[in-house]
Amino acid sequence: MRVDAAPARTGGTAGAGRMTRRTVYFPGGPASYLALGREPEAGKTAAPLLLLHGFAGDLLTWQLNMPVLGADRRVLAVDLPGHGQSTLDVGDGRVAGFAPWLLRFLDAVGLDRMHVAGHSMGGYVGMELARLAPERVASLTLIASAGLGPDFDLGFLRRVTAVSSEEEGTDCAARLFAGPCWLVDRIGAVLHAQAADPARRAALERITEQSFAVAAERFPPVDWSAFPMPVQAVWGAQDRIIPLPSPHMLPHGAPLHVFDKAGHLPHSEAAGPTTTVLRDFLNLCDAS
């Protein structure tokens, strides 16, 4: 195993220390990740947090949240297979296959048990990780999460993988938000660059067809009895990609936080409130 590290351009906070971008090499790797924060002081219990981005995104989706979250715990955000600077090998394209990959990643970076928060596809991956290794997941936060049912915009995912210009990329990016946002142009450029890379486009297309096109045809209800850890959900009321779930789609009694002026990226569009909800939930779980 080898780890390469360099300071990340996104910076950090005085309390959390410097945010560092690292690459760890292991069978199935490499895996690129951001690391911030430090182990809690003696006598305090603050389990680390693993952040999982959505489809066609990368670890930088968490740049507005990590400085606060890393103030009192170790926080890692990883590029999932087919995304960012991690391996482009997505196997058969099924999201369930990313869970064993994540376990190898967690072993490589020395995380035995942690909280998990995932956005969109990342929520789906987080659910698969929690199902595969529940003893290693202290809590699960689902942010505009896939994996709960067949009601999502499959056509949008297919369009994202085939963006033919920066203008089309910007149009796709705008659909992720409830209103104007400074991130739209940046995300649009990234979507265009991804689609222009044949290997990256092929990886995203395989995920789309094997994980989401199949799910759109048949998606059994989640058996929440297999998830012993606390679960919460966070959503944007104006999400046009994955609509707000019905209460019966979540575990009984699980908190559902809905932000009225947010779309599919509440952790960006309502970064402050979303970060507060997540931090409070983690602290509550650590204390129980």
230/11 Cα distance (integer angstroms): 31
**pLDDT grade for 39, boundaries at 50, 70 and 90:** low
pTM to 2 decimal places: 0.94
Predicted pLDDT at 38: 72
CB atoms within 10 A of CB 64: 18
Q: Reduced to 3 states, what is the DSSP secondary structure of residue 233?
A: strand
pLDDT digits (tens, 9 = 90+) for 134-158: 999 999 999 999 999 888 999 999 9
User: Is 283's pLDDT higher than 90?
Assistant: yes
Average pLDDT, the chain: 92
211/205 Cα distance (integer angstroms): 10
pLDDT digits (tens, 9 = 90+) for 181-191: 999 999 999 99
Q: Give mean pLDDT, residues 240-268.
A: 95
User: Is 69's pLDDT higher than 50?
Assistant: yes
Helices (H) and strands (E) in the chain, counts: 10, 9
pLDDT digits (tens, 9 = 90+) for 77-124: 999 999 999 999 999 999 999 999 999 999 999 999 999 999 999 999
pLDDT digits (tens, 9 = 90+) for 89-98: 999 999 999 9
Kindly calculate the radius of gyration of the chain based on its CA atoms and give it in whole angstroms: 18
At 228, give phi and psi (nearest 5°). Answer: -80, -15
22/118 Cα distance (integer angstroms): 20
Predicted pLDDT at 149: 87
User: Is 42's pLDDT higher than 90?
Assistant: no
User: Is 282's pLDDT higher than 70?
Assistant: yes
Q: Give mean pLDDT, residues 163-188.
A: 96
Q: Where are the alpha helices (DSSP H) in the chain?
A: 66-69, 98-109, 121-132, 154-161, 166-174, 184-196, 198-207, 214-217, 266-269, 271-287
Q: Which domains are assigned to the chain?
A: 2-152+220-287 (3.40.50.1820)
CB atoms within 10 A of CB 254: 16
User: Scanning the structure block, which residue is given the tokens 């779980």?
Assistant: 285
Long-range contacts formed by 218-222: CB under 8 A, 24+ apart:
218/150, 219/149, 219/150, 221/149, 221/249, 222/127, 222/147, 222/148, 222/249
Q: Are 108 and 131 in contact (CB under 8 A)?
A: no
User: Is 203's pLDDT higher than 90?
Assistant: yes
